[in-house]
Structure 1
Amino acid sequence: MQNIVILGAGAWGQALAHLATINGHQVHLWSRQNTTPLQDLLQNAQIILSAISMKGVREVASLVHSLQIPENTIFVTATKGLEPHTTYTPSQIWQNTFPNHFVVVLSGPNLSKEIENKLPAATVVASKNSVAAQQVQLVFSSQQFRVYTNPDPIGVELGGTLKNVMAIAAGVSDGLQLGTNAKAALVTRGLTEMVRIGNHLNAKTETFYGLSGLGDLLATCNSPLSRNYQVGYQLAQGKTLTEILTHLSGTAEGINTCQVLMEIAKQQNINIPITEQVYRLLAGEITPTEGLLELMLRDIKSEFDYLQEQIW
């Protein structure tokens, strides 16, 4: 039995808490509204799992760092996003804050509502330390939830992060009723764009063809349960971004991720046409139809050239 503290009591944190609890582990959920002092929860923690939104990661990591943490504690991050200005991933923030601890990334096609309804799902846990990844794998694996390990944490993390931008684009496609052909092309080229960005950031290509890349991309681009998909869909229906976010339950991380990706693309000269059009749409520079037209009128080229373009 493991003593687990989950930081973040939202839908995703609660879903993960349930999965660990049914396996007999002792689980404590913490949020800023929690009346129990965080130090009391952490003093015997063997695993600390972060399921908070991207904007709160650094603040909470600093808070945890100010407390006494056992030397053998494993940190797990289940957040999908990129930090503005630094462009760090959540695991990079946790690892920089706790350089002597193992950090594991948990990511996959995991819509929390479906997990809450006890529908079958699979995910990936990734770490540079295989023993730490295997320990987390055992905590969450069950008949309902199949967990795979992976030695490429940055790739697993980026797969879950980058697909959120593509989910906004997929929502636009469905909102405009462009059909199956258009959406298939969009998702396929979106995956290529994800691989290109990932390679620039030292992720392995093959990781993006697994659960945390292609798997998460398919789930998020095809489900109305996805907040990022809903943003794109409602933009295509004529709503403003302000209106959408006012009524959206939770955070659509793809909005912030899109902005950070544009910074990275400019710095490293990465060609990201889909992300660029999503960025311009979110900024109100173009309409959904105009964004589609610009993608369709790009220079024609060999598919092989496109797949290899700027991949290191």
Structure 2
Amino acid sequence: MTNPKTVAILGAGAWGASLANLAAANGHQVRVWSRQGSQTLEAVLKDVQIILSAISMIGVRDVASQVQSFPLSPEAIFVTATKGLDPETTCTPSQIWQTIFPNHAVVVLSGPNLSKEIQMELPAATVVASNIPTAAEVVQLVFSSHRFRVYTNPDPLGVELGGTLKNVIAIAAGVCDGLQLGTNAKAALVTRGLTEMVRIGNNWGAKTETFYGLSGLGDLLATCNSPLSRNYQVGYQLAGGKSLTEILANLQGTAEGVNTCRVLMQRAKQQNIAVPITEQVYRLLQGEITPGQALDELMLRDIKPEYNY
């Protein structure tokens, strides 16, 4: 290791632990902070060069505000690995970090990365994206290994939205499998789901091609096809007749798609974006319709061209 870094990982859940292990295996000095841990946030942040946030969306703003009260190196790079939207402002996690730390580089890390598989050292790839290419390249070196391939990307918003929006489609995919609707239906759902993600992303200012990469299509395929995905499990169990309250009470970790869906509907109404799949998932989560009724609503929409040329 020619240039070891000191890395602070905020959040000791499965995802934070996986990323901590990757950096430590590359010879970097890694410190992990969690609310339940024994180390103070100040001690963990002392003289660090990289601060990676892997906390759930609900805690991002609070933790970012706490970090602000401690002295940091002006060269410190923030990395956000949270997938979600702020319910109050509809901001993404990187937008929150960048607003609070306007003079620091912020890098988004996102991809088809199921924590359990990474912990088992199965091959995987991810994307690190920033408006400052050199910052993304530093982070790329910290986490890359022969089992974990890291690509850089200049569209942080698109990379972040890919990882966030696919969680809503994953709930729909879980419903699809739970109702045993078949491979044709699942393929159609995931494809139209990707179209919906692109439409929302474009409205937000993200680049279309980003959504066809690892952090968009890649993450969508992983999350829509794996029982390891918490969002997929929410949909699958809703199709099996369980209530959302019951599902969330027994779920290990956070299904970010539930909150994301609510925030997305709010933004789609404000911006007048067509989000038919998101809308049915939202109504299902609200208990307004059954999984079968959601399917009927999607199948009985007006017929139209696939693309608006």
TM-score normalised by the shorter chain: which range applies?
A: over 0.9
User: Matches of 1:41 and 1:247 in 2, distance apart?
Assistant: 31
Among candidates 21, 26, 29, match of residue 18 of structure 1: 21
Among candidates 83, 87, 92, match of residue 95 of structure 2: 92
What is aligned with 1:275? 278
AA partner of residue 29 (structure 1) = V
TM-score normalised by the chain length of structure 2: 0.98
Task: Point out the more displaced range, 33-42 or 185-194.
Answer: 33-42
SS in 2 for 1:285: coil
Task: Point out the more displaced range, 291-300 or 26-35.
Answer: 26-35
User: Matches of 1:254 and 1:5 in 2, distance apart?
Assistant: 26
SS in 2 for 1:170: helix
Percent same amino acid among aligned pairs?
A: 75
What is aligned with 1:300? 303
SS in 2 for 1:267: helix
User: Matches of 2:112 and 2:205 in 1, distance apart?
Assistant: 22
Q: Deviations over 1:178-237 (max 9, x none)?
A: 000000000000000000000000000000000000000000000000000000000000
Among candidates 37, 41, 59, match of residue 38 of structure 1: 41
What is aligned with 2:156? 153
Shift of 1:85: 2.2
Q: Runs ≥4 in structure 1, deviation > 2 angstroms? A: none
Among candidates 64, 82, 86, match of residue 85 of structure 2: 82
What is aligned with 1:219? 222
**Would you say 1:230 and 2:239 are equivalent positions?**
no
**Would you say 1:186 and 2:189 are equivalent positions?**
yes
TM-score normalised by the chain length of structure 1: 0.97
User: Matches of 1:34 and 1:304 in 2, distance apart?
Assistant: 51
Shift of 1:4: 0.1
SS in 2 for 1:304: coil
Unaligned runs of 5+ in 1: none
Among candidates 102, 107, 118, match of residue 104 of structure 1: 107
User: Matches of 1:269 and 1:190 in 2, distance apart?
Assistant: 17
Query: Aligned-residue CA RMSD in angstroms?
Result: 0.6
User: Matches of 1:80 and 1:118 in 2, distance apart?
Assistant: 22
Q: Deviations over 1:121-177 (max 9, x none)?
A: 000000000000000000001100000000000000000000000000000000000
SS in 2 for 1:44: coil
Shift of 1:58: 0.2
Among candidates 255, 266, 269, match of residue 269 of structure 2: 266
User: Matches of 1:76 and 1:12 in 2, distance apart?
Assistant: 13
**Would you say 1:204 and 2:190 are equivalent positions?**
no
Task: Point out the more displaced range, 120-129 or 29-38.
Answer: 29-38
Among candidates 68, 72, 85, match of residue 65 of structure 1: 68
**Would you say 1:174 and 2:177 are equivalent positions?**
yes
